[in-house]
Structure 1
Amino acid sequence: MTKTILAVDDSPSVRQMVRLTLTGAGYSVVEAVDGQDALEKASAQKFDAILTDQNMPRLDGISFIRKFRDTASAVGVPIVFLSTESHEGLKQQAREAGAIGWMMKPFDQAQLLAVVKKVAGA
């Protein structure tokens, strides 16, 4: 069965790179343009993992995670941050909100695949 990943980023080029990397490895990818869009999509469909940016309009990554984690559909869904920011305070907030990992942008495609495979399975 194909694993479905939600890619949340306000940058079309980042979403495209994530989509191309993951679909090339056999994953199905749904894109969301910001945290609010992601919240709506995640309440309508079950995902095997979520990759989210932090700085986005309407709803940022940490706020998205907090709201998503309050829903029944969030149970068992791993969330990994994919961000240009790396300061420890933000990472701590992300962990407290419910993220399980953090990757820096720009990302290495092999690293992205390894992380997704680890958290979502092949």
Structure 2
Amino acid sequence: MPSCLVIDENNIVQKVANRILSGLDIETVAVSGLREAEAILGMKKTRFDLVLLSATMPDTPVDVALRTLRAGPVGSAPILVSLVEANLGLMTRSKRAGASGFLFRPFDRASLSAWVEPFLVAA
């Protein structure tokens, strides 16, 4: 069963992503920030096949979060950055820092599935 780490400061986004991904038979762990993600990654022995990362975390710029994740245990996993709107500067910085792709919020089952499935097939 593939697994996904969801890093998002919004509890509602975490719950919606968890519900949708669980329905796709993807084991999901949701956390609210990079520090919590690092703690989970330090304890968890299995790897994640995919990471969904919010671009709007209050404590950490997305490019810093991406570089931190790329340097850690999920370094080779696809990381999709979650955006509320298309922001070319933010998207460019994210790609340079290691983002595999982007998804836009709010999302529903169809849109999240469409963004996630190509990366899980490749994993």
Between the two proteins, the alignment pairs up a number of residues equal to 120
Amino acid in structure 2 at the alignment position of 1:88: L
TM-score (norm 1): 0.88
How far did residue 75 of structure 1 move? 3.6
Query: Is 58-67 or 101-110 further displaced after alignment?
Result: 58-67
Question: Is the Cα–Cα contact under 8 Å of residues 50 and 79 in structure 1 kept in the other structure?
Answer: yes
Question: Is the Cα–Cα contact under 8 Å of residues 51 and 79 in structure 1 kept in the other structure?
Answer: yes
Matched residue, 1:36: 35
Q: Percent identity?
A: 26
Matched residue, 1:52: 53
Report the 3-state secondary structure (helix = DSSP H, G, I; strand = E; otherwise coil) of the residue aligned with 1:82.
strand
Matched residue, 1:111: 111
- Is 1:102 the counterpart of 2:102? The answer is yes
Change (3 A) 1:35 1:60: farther
- Is 1:24 the counterpart of 2:28? The answer is no
Report the 3-state secondary structure (helix = DSSP H, G, I; strand = E; otherwise coil) of the residue aligned with 1:103.
strand
How far did residue 60 of structure 1 move? 3.6
Query: Is 85-94 or 33-42 further displaced after alignment?
Result: 33-42
TM-score (norm 2): 0.87
Matched residue, 1:89: 89
Q: Give the aligned CA root-mean-square deviation in angstroms.
A: 1.7
- Is 1:64 the counterpart of 2:65? The answer is yes
How far did residue 114 of structure 1 move? 2.1
How far did residue 23 of structure 1 move? 0.2
Q: Residues 30-72 of structure 1, C-alpha deviation per residue, up to 9 Å, x if partnerless? A: 011012212322343310000010111332432211111122x
| Structure 1: gaps spanning 5 or more residues | none
Amino acid in structure 1 at the alignment position of 2:78: P
How far did residue 101 of structure 1 move? 0.6
Report the 3-state secondary structure (helix = DSSP H, G, I; strand = E; otherwise coil) of the residue aligned with 1:74.
coil
Q: Residues 69-119 of structure 1, C-alpha deviation per residue, up to 9 Å, x if partnerless? A: 122x23420000112142101000110111111111111321211222111
- Partner Cα separation in structure 1 for residue 97 and residue 41 of structure 2: 16
Amino acid in structure 2 at the alignment position of 1:113: S
| Structure 2: gaps spanning 5 or more residues | none
- Partner Cα separation in structure 2 for residue 41 and residue 59 of structure 1: 17
